[in-house]
Amino acid sequence: MSRPVAFSADSAVCRGRIDGSTHDADEVLLGFTRALRAAGVPVTQDRARSYLEAVALVGLDDQVATYVAGRATLCGGPDDLARYDSVFEAWFGSRDGLPRPRPPQPVAPTFSDLPETDAEDGGEGDDDAEIVRARASELEVLRHRDVAALSPAERQRLSALFGTLRPRIPLRRTARHRAWHRGDVDASRTLRASLRRMGEPAEIAWRRRGRKPRRVVLLVDVSGSMSGYADALLRLAHRFTQAAPGSVETFTLGTRLTHVTRALRLRDPERALVAAGRTVPDWSGGTRLGETLRSFLDRWGRRGTARGAVVVIFSDGWERGDTTELTAQVAGLRRIAHRVVWVNPHRGKAGYEPVQQGIVAVLPYVDDFVAGHSLATYAELVEVVARA
76-113 pLDDT, tens digit per residue, is 777 788 888 888 888 876 444 444 444 555 555 544 44
Best mean pLDDT range from 25-29, 104-108, 213-217:
213-217
- Distance of alpha carbon 223 from alpha carbon 42, whole angstroms: 11
Q: What is the mean pLDDT of residues 111-121?
A: 45
Report the pLDDT value the prediction gives residue 309, as an integer from 0 to 100. 95
> Distance between CA 179 and CA 209 in Å, rounded?
9
Separation of alpha carbons 220 and 341, rounded Å: 12
Q: Is the pLDDT of residue 68 over 90?
A: no
Mean pLDDT, rounded, for 300-316:
93
39 against 110, higher pLDDT: 39
- pLDDT for 224-256, tens place per residue? 889 899 999 999 999 999 998 889 999 999 889
Q: How confident is the model at residue 320 (pLDDT cuts 50, 70, 90)?
A: low
Query: Highest mean pLDDT: which of 37-51, 113-127, 242-256, 275-289?
Result: 242-256
- When pLDDT is averaged across residues 13-19 and rounded to a whole number, the result is 39
Q: What angle do CA 381, 384, 387 make, to 5 degrees?
A: 150
Read off the pLDDT of residues 181-213 as tens digits, 9 standing for 90 and up: 888 888 888 888 888 888 888 888 888 888 889
- Beta strands (DSSP E) in the chain are 16-18, 21-23, 171-180, 184-185, 206-213, 216-221, 248-253, 257-259, 310-314, 339-344, 368-371
pTM of the model: 0.62
Average pLDDT over the chain, rounded to an integer: 81
Query: Is the pLDDT reported for residue 169 higher than 80?
Result: yes
In this prediction, residues 256-285 reach a mean pLDDT of 91
pLDDT of residue 137: 66
Q: What residues does each domain of the chain span?
A: 16-92, 173-213, 216-386
Q: Which residues contact 65 (CB under 8 A, 6 or more apart)?
A: 55, 58, 59
Q: What is the CATH number of domain 216-386?
A: 3.40.50.410
CB 371 within 8 A of CB 342: no
For residue 347, the surrounding DSSP H or E stretch is none
Please check whether residue 348 is in contact with residue 318, taking contact to mean a CB–CB distance below 8 angstroms. Answer: no
Q: Which of 107-116, 157-166, 355-364, 368-377 has the lowest mean pLDDT?
A: 107-116
pLDDT confidence bin for 295, thresholds 50/70/90: very high
